[in-house]
Chains A and B, each alone.
Chain A
Amino acid sequence: MSAPSPAVELRHVSKRFGAVAAVEGVSLAVRAGEFLTLLGPSGCGKTTLLRMIAGFEIPDAGAVLLGGADVTALPPHRRDVNQVFQSYALFPHLNVRENIAFGLRMQRRAAKEIAARVGEMVALVALEGCEERKPHQLSGGQRQRVALARALAPRPAVLLLDEPLSALDARLRQTMQLELKRLQRQVGTTFVFVTHDQEEALTISDRIALVNRGRIEQIGTTQEIYHKPATAFAAEFIGQANVMEAEWVGNEPGFARLRVAGIELRVAAEAWPAGVTRARVSIRPEKIHLGKTRPLGGSGFEVRVDEEIFKGATDRFGLVTASGARLIAMVANESALREAIHAGDRVWCAVHADDIVVLRESGNERGQPA
Chain B
Amino acid sequence: MNPFRLLALTCALLAAPAARCAEQLNLFAWSEYVPQKVIAGFTKETGIRVNYETYASGEEMLSKLLIGGAAYDLVQPPDYIAEAMIKNKLLRPLDRSKLKNLGNLAPEFLGLPHDPEQKFTVPYLTGTVGIVVNTEKVKEPIRGYRDVFQPKFKNRIVVVNDNREIVSWALVTLGLDQNALTPANLATVRPLVAEWIKLVKVFDSDSPKTPLLNGDVDLGVVWSGEAARLIQENKKFSYVLPAEGAHPYVDLLAIPTTAKNVAAAHRFLDYVLRADVSKLISDEFPYTNPNAAARKLLSPEQRANPASYPQLEKFNTFRDIGKAAAGVDKLVTDLKSAK
Indicate whether A and B are direct neighbours in the complex (CB within 8 Å): no
Residue numbers of B with Cβ under 8 A of A are none
**A interface residue numbers (CB < 8 A to B):** none
